[in-house]
Structure 1
Amino acid sequence: MNLLCFLLSGLPADGTIAAEVAFMFNEWYRPECKLDFPIGGSQAMVAALVRFV
């Protein structure tokens, strides 16, 4: 949940407002919804950020 909240708001779960999480869950469960994931997952995102810095 901390990763999900961080990706949504940049904050851990205890710092993310419930309305934001509820809105996103509502969006994700719509029939036409598609979620995109980077190749390599969140580990690839971290590796790219480390290379960038």
Structure 2
Amino acid sequence: CGHCQKLKSSWEKLPNALKGVVKVGAVNCDDDKNKPLCNSEGVDSFPTIK
């Protein structure tokens, strides 16, 4: 989506910028194997940043 594309370049820089401070990761909630995690974390729209 447009919002996701706008965040992409900033999101890709975060792991290096926050190294040693916080862990950064991404989860594809459209992938069936990730749905249990996404549901348990209350992800119901994209992008969601927690």
Structure-2-length-normalised TM-score: 0.31
Q: Relative CO higher for 1 or 2, CA cutoff 8 Å, sep ≥ 6?
A: 2
Structure number with bigger Rg: 1
What is the TM-score of this pair, normalised by structure 1? 0.31
